[in-house]
Amino acid sequence: MLTLTSVWTTVLLAAAVALGPLATDMYLPALPQIGRDFGTGTDQVQLTLSLYMVGFAIAQLICGPLADRFGRKPIMIGGFVLFAIASIGCALATNIETLILCRFLQALGGSAGPVLGRAAVRDIYTPREAARILAILASIMALAPAIAPTIGGLLTASLGWSSIFLALSGYALVMAVVVAIGIPEPMRPEHRQSLKIRSLLKNYSTIARDISFLGYTLTNALIFSGLFAFLSGSSFVLIDFLGVPTEHFGLYFACMVAGYVVGNLSAIRLGSKLLPDQILVRGLLIAVAGGGLMAGLALSEVYNVWAVILPQALFMIGTGMVLPQTMSGAMANFPTMAGSASALFGFIQMAVAAIAGMLVGHLHDGTSLVMATIIAACAACAMGCYLLLVQRYPAKGFEAQTATSS
């Protein structure tokens, strides 16, 4: 068994965290084919993605407290097994309703990897060391959505979309075995907590009433919703509307991921020169510019691949700058309730994103207009949350520009 501070332990935790984006992004190229096979509309197919996010959101509120009581490993292993079984159900689904249900169950299990992988890092390392390890995990996480759609497109083109879910099931089972025999339990026995409902509800109530937390969380959730709107609509826009071959979808998708990586690296580079709030507002301005450009081109009926990809890459540069700052800001006021704050933060993020995904599916008109408009609206609303909440109620250590200049 590996030691907790081993490099290979970090690699295995990164592989566990990667399960979330793999489950979301690998089957994106297959969405149009799934709709054709089941003879259903875009809105129904989109529910397989949006309800996955709903399940993921709900599971975070449950997964964290269970892991605080019983340890990280048993909950993580149980989640992987549930994910694997649900993935097989997805592969065997004969109608869209069964696929939607199995995707929801898949999300309940899939949340264990990302949520508890990050929690394990906090268990193992000091705060300063944890920041470095989490940065490594974030870099690996950026690779997963870059690779996943390409793999999914190739599998769909050669073996059919069911093969994607069989591959995900195999991945989850391998991870369950590796975690069971390869990683010691990272949580100390004396840190185990009670599962008393009253205490959990009190913590969540305290966090939810903090205006600073709500400001950062809603800003994050809205920017993430713009990203999720692209995930929900991109395969229909690029493959069905603009004629991109399924096996090439991942190559265009990688341009979006490259934008996110550029934003991440820019935030790291600027971190020594600017306050987190200053990085945040710059990222928001870039995201608003990207979303507005895409919507403007769509309104002008400029319909081609690069009129979608390049503005989205610009939006993702802003997203890469915004998400780390808003996550840190939301957690800043709750050093003793970080687990509960993280769970509520994730729940709100995923719930808002699911709504954006449902809107894309319900309103889709066969062009890029609906997707582009929703992305632009999410960016504009995120800027509004920043101006109305974050600037007025900054978290400690995240002083807003208006505060620093006064």
Q: Which two tokens stand for residue 179?
A: 């975690």
pLDDT value of position 389: 95
Question: Among the ranges 22-31, 124-133, 306-315, which has the highest mean pLDDT value?
Answer: 306-315
Rounded to whole angstroms, the Cα distance separating 80 from 18 reads: 12
Q: What is the mean pLDDT of residues 191-216?
A: 83
The arithmetic mean of pLDDT across residues 86-114, rounded, is 93
Mean pLDDT (whole number) for 180-209: 77
Q: What is the pLDDT of residue 276?
A: 83
Highest mean pLDDT of the ranges 131-135, 193-197, 400-404: 193-197
247, two tokens: 């096996």
Q: Given a cut of 50, is residue 383 above it in pLDDT?
A: yes
Instruction: Give the rounded percent of residues in the chain with a pLDDT score beyond 90.
Output: 43
pLDDT of residue 403: 41
Q: Angle, nearest 10°, between helix axes 127-159 and 162-182?
A: 150
Per-residue pLDDT reduced to its tens digit, 41-59: 888 898 898 888 889 888 8
Task: Please tell me the predicted confidence (pLDDT) of residue 127.
Answer: 45
Residue 128 has pLDDT above 50, yes or no: no
Superfamily name with CATH number, domain 196-406: MFS general substrate transporter like domains (1.20.1250.20)
Q: Is the pLDDT of residue 97 over 70?
A: yes
pLDDT in tens, 335-345: 666 667 777 88
> What value does the mean pLDDT take over residues 306-330?
90
pLDDT at 161: 94
Q: What is the pLDDT of residue 404?
A: 41
pTM of the prediction?
Answer: 0.80
Give the confidence band of 120 by pLDDT, cuts at 50, 70, 90: confident
Ramachandran angles phi, psi of 185, nearest 5°? -65, 120
pLDDT at 106: 94
| pLDDT attached to residue 329 | 81
Domain 7-187 fold is: Growth Hormone; Chain: A; (1.20.1250)
**Residue 98 pLDDT greater than 70, yes or no:** yes
Q: What is the mean pLDDT of residues 173-181?
A: 89
If you average pLDDT over each of 98-102, 187-191, 195-199, which comes out highest? 98-102
So what's the pLDDT on residue 320?
87
Span(s) in the chain for CATH 1.20.1250.20: 7-187, 196-406
Q: Which residue has the tokens 């993605």?
A: 49
Per-residue model confidence (pLDDT) at position 131: 47
What is the pLDDT at residue 119? 67
- Average pLDDT, stretch 22-40? 89
139 pLDDT exceeds 70? no
Q: What is the 3-class SS of the chain, one letter each residue?
A: CCCCCCHHHHHHHHHHHCHHHHHHHCCHHHHHHHHHHHCCCHHHHHHHHHHHHHHHHHHHHHHHHHHHHHCHHHHHHHHHHHHHHHHHHHHHCCCHHHHHHHHHHHHHHHCHHHHHHHHHHHHHCCHHHHHHHHHHHHHHHHHHHHHHHHHHHHHHHHHCCHHHHHHHHHHHHHHHHHHHHHCCCCCCHHHCCCCCHHHHHHHHHHHHCCHHHHHHHHHHHHHHHHHHHHHHHHHHHHHHHCCCCHHHHHHHHHHHHHHHHHHHHHHHHHCCCCCHHHHHHHHHHHHHHHHHHHHHHHHCCCCCHHHHHHHHHHHHHHHHHHHHHHHHHHHCCCCCCHHHHHHHHHHHHHHHHHHHHHHHHHHCCCCCHHHHHHHHHHHHHHHHHHHHHHCCCCCCCCCCHHHHHC
pLDDT of residue 68: 74
402 confidence band (pLDDT: 50, 70, 90) = very low
For residue 116, give every residue at least 6 positions away whose Cβ sits within 8 Å of its Cβ, in sequence order, or none: 16, 63, 67, 72, 75, 76, 79
Q: What pLDDT score does 333 carry?
A: 79
pLDDT surpassing 90 at residue 260: no
Average pLDDT over residues 357-361: 89
